[in-house]
Amino acid sequence: MSTLTSNPTSNEGALRRFIRHLLYVMTDNPVTAIAFILFLLMIIAALFGPWLVPYNPLATDSSSTLQAPSWQHWFGTDHLGRDVFSRVVVATRLDLMIAVTAVAIAFIVGSALGAIAGFYGGWADRITGRLMDTIMAFPLFVLAMGIVAAAGNTIENIIYATAIINLPFYARMARTEVAVRRQAGYVQAARLSGNRDWRILAFQIFPNSLPPMMVQISLNMGWAILNAAGLSFIGLGVSPPTPEWGIMVAEGANYIVSGHWWLALFPGMALMLAVFTFNLLGDGLRDLVDPLRRT
């Protein structure tokens, strides 16, 4: 059957090939396409949010407090008369920023530790393994709370706390993925070609263990957003009046009883949608970085 597969034109530019592959991944699975579109919307909101929204997210207006959703205020207004829609859109940047940075740190440090443990085994493996077990032994959210409370109530500390609680996932995954490839034929061949250990790890083994890690990154992104919002909800990290989904839900929760449901609902929906998007995105991302899925 191999003779029947079409010949890829090798002189085609790398970017065009990537776009063609992206289009294939999206059309092959409609769920992935939806996830990519939602993700794109989130990126737009994060980058251009402040210029797109109809009102200043911080501007209070005492004449129109607690108004229900209308054509003027799509998501209604809060107790200070601020436009909920504007606040939800503008908050995207902060929430995404926290999640992306935290996951990036967790991925880089965690996979480096895990890769070294998996490649060398022995003491390196034992030490990182026990370290990760120690982190995992705590309830993760409580650990994050503790870190933020102890280190100080700033956005940076929320990021570090989120990164630390996500570290073990990457370390464990990288360790397994690297360990199964340690004796692969191409690794032996690279040794014969005069590659040093670090080079084999960095250029031969690690890139090949990326596809499953992409799924993890994407799932973690959702958790990280939830985690950051959760910390804000209980009053750690981001402080009012900064627009942030967690704070908005926390503030809005007081008004649900009095029938002002829109205050908590819309930021909550945004949070849910973000987590949902990242969860769906995982498989698509994996397919995108997996060379075997390309023709």
Partner 1 sequence: MAIPLLDIRDLTVEFATRNGTVTAVKKVDIRINKGETLGIVGESGSGKSVTSYALLRILDRAGRIADGSIVFGGVDVGGADERTMSELRGREMSMIFQNPRAALNPIRAVGRQIEDVMIQHGLATRGNARGKAIKMLEAVRIREPEQRYHAYPFELSGGMCQRIVIAIALACRPQLLIADEPTTGLDVTTQKAVMDLIVELAAERQMATLLITHDLGLAASYCDRIVVMEKGEIVEAATVDELFANPQHPYTQRLMRATPRLDSQVADLLPVDDKRRASTERQPLGPPLLEVDALVKAFGSTKVSDTVKAVDNLSFTLHEGESLGLVGESGCGKSTTSAMIMRLLDPTSGALTFAGTDIAAISAKQFAHHPLRSKLQMVFQDPTDSLNPRWSARRSIEDPLRRLTHVNRQELNSRVSLLAERVGLPLHLLDRFPHQLSGGQKARVGIARAIALEPRLLILDEPTAALDVSVQAVVLNLLASLREQLNMSYLFISHDLNVVRLLCDRVMVMQAGQIVEEGPTDKLLSEPSHQYTRALLAAIPHPPAHANPNNISVATL
Chain residues in the site for partner 1 (CB under 8 A): 1-6, 8, 10, 24, 28, 184-186, 188-197, 199, 204, 207-208, 291-292, 294-295
Q: Based on CB atoms, which residue is closest to partner 1, 54 or 121? A: 121
**Contact predicate 219/205, CB 8 Å:** no
Q: Smallest gap, in angstroms, from Cβ of residue 194 to partner 1?
A: 4
- Write out the two tokens for 38: 């939602």
Q: Smallest gap, in angstroms, from Cβ of residue 5 to partner 1?
A: 6
Q: Smallest gap, in angstroms, from Cβ of residue 11 to partner 1?
A: 9
Q: Based on CB atoms, which residue is closest to partner 1, 16 or 196? A: 196
Q: Based on CB atoms, which residue is closest to partner 1, 171 or 200? A: 200
Residues forming beta bridges with residue 83, ordered by sequence position: 77
CA atoms of 230 and 157, how far apart (whole Å): 14
Q: Smallest gap, in angstroms, from Cβ of residue 198 to partner 1?
A: 11
Q: Based on CB atoms, which residue is closest to partner 1, 12 or 156? A: 12
Closest by Cα among 247, 260, 256 to 88: 247
**Contact predicate 173/211, CB 8 Å:** no
* CA 25 to each of CA 1, 189, 207, 244, 283: distance values in angstroms, whole numbers, following the listed order: 22, 32, 20, 33, 10
**Contact predicate 295/8, CB 8 Å:** yes
Q: Smallest gap, in angstroms, from Cβ of residue 278 to partner 1?
A: 25
